[in-house]
Amino acid sequence: MQLNSAFIARLFSITTALFAIGLGWLFVLGHTAFAAFFYNPHLTHRFVENVLKLPYKAYLQSAEIYSALQFFIATWGWGLIAVGVALFWYKKLPTKILYGFLVFIATTSFFYALCNYMENAWRFGQLIEHSLQIGTALFFLFFIKNNSLIKNTAGRDQLKIDRQKSLSTWTCQEERQSSKSHKPAFLRKAGRSWFRLLRNSLKGQSNKSITTNLHVGIKLAIALTFIGHGLFAIGYYPVPGYFIDMIIKVFHIGEDAARNLLKIVGWLDIVFAIVLLFFRGKYLKIALGYIILWGFLTALARIVANIYLGLGWESILPWVPAFLIRIPHFMIPIILYLSITPRPINQQSLYR
């Protein structure tokens, strides 16, 4: 199998597109926590009374304002769906429009995560659990921006050499460094990489630095997502009822057994997230194997746990968007796994 930048970009585009469609679908259905923002008196009280010139109590009780907010959120959702569909043909989009679409998806997913964070009593685990969803569009933006910068290098021969070096760095960097010790300095590098992902995507930087930051950013997002999930599963935060319900429905076990299984899986999530951050070589691949498998199963469980044969598709469709927004939980780890596995290089243009 030949791995090239066009193939990686295609995986990023499919992942981002399906995530945007799923998130937009949730918006259209009204399954969001936006009320935690729009009806939060600490955030909206002054705006309502000073700008809208309404008593805050009237704002809270107004059916017209509620309907207008629902219409706004649904329109926002249809916009996300349209953007997601357009990303399947990202090569045909003008560069600035493509970048704008990805920033739109990233900022929307951050706002969605922030509202869930607020609704769930400001539990930090709830926020970091959205790290992969927030990062997906940024990773895609970062990757194609890097390749676009390479594509603009002066001279055909230099262009070919730079592309080859960039791809070699992307696909083999982790394997070449597997024999080196992993020092605690990783944490400082990881903390800076999220900021660099957006900053460096908007201006030029060396190929080696860009690919290193992207690898670190992806690892950090995966680890935070699974640590956040694990904190709820082990009971550090109150275990969500739907976690237990899904385990009971899928495995046909009792509540006590479901809680015990959740604790085991939660600790595995945290352990493999730590392995992902601090280990290389075969241990890194084992961690990614678990994360890919469990990320897929937890996403699919949203559908499987809610299949009722008597209702047919009507029981499944409401849960499809819940599956779609979790596609990054296993697709981004797959992209990372492919990138650390040495393969023959066949560079192609992203915009061919």
Of the candidates 236, 229, 239, the residue with the CA atom closest to the CA atom of residue 265: 229
Tell me the two tokens of residue 15.
Answer: 């992942």
Query: Rounded to whole angstroms, how far apart are CA atoms 338 and 8?
Result: 9
The pLDDT value given to residue 153: 38
Contacts of 347 (CB under 8 A, 6+ apart): 4, 5, 160, 163, 164, 167
Tell me the two tokens of residue 49.
Answer: 């009374």
15-44 burial string, b = 16+ CB within 10 Å, else e?
Answer: bbbbbbbbbbbbbbeeebbbebebbeeeeb
Query: Rounded to whole angstroms, how far apart are CA atoms 209 and 29?
Result: 42
Sign of CA dihedral 334, 335, 339, 343: positive
From first to last of the 352 residues of the chain, give the pLDDT tens digit: 445 678 888 999 999 999 999 999 999 998 888 888 898 888 888 888 888 888 988 888 888 989 999 999 999 999 999 999 999 999 999 989 999 999 999 999 999 999 999 888 888 988 999 999 999 999 999 888 876 533 443 334 333 434 444 444 555 554 454 444 444 454 455 555 555 555 554 454 444 444 677 888 999 999 999 999 999 999 899 888 888 888 888 888 888 898 999 999 999 999 999 999 998 888 999 999 999 999 999 899 888 877 776 666 666 777 899 999 999 999 999 999 988 765 544 444 444 4
The pLDDT value given to residue 8: 87
Coil/strand/helix, residue 82? helix
Assess contact for 27 and 77: CB atoms under 8 A: yes
Query: Rounded to whole angstroms, how far apart are CA atoms 140 and 129?
Result: 19
Beta bridge partners, 345, equal 3
The CA-CA-CA angle for residues 279, 280, 282, to 5°, reads 110
Q: What is the pTM of this model?
A: 0.80
Residue type, 90: Y
Phi-psi region of 108 (alpha: psi -120 to 50; beta: other; left: phi over 0): alpha
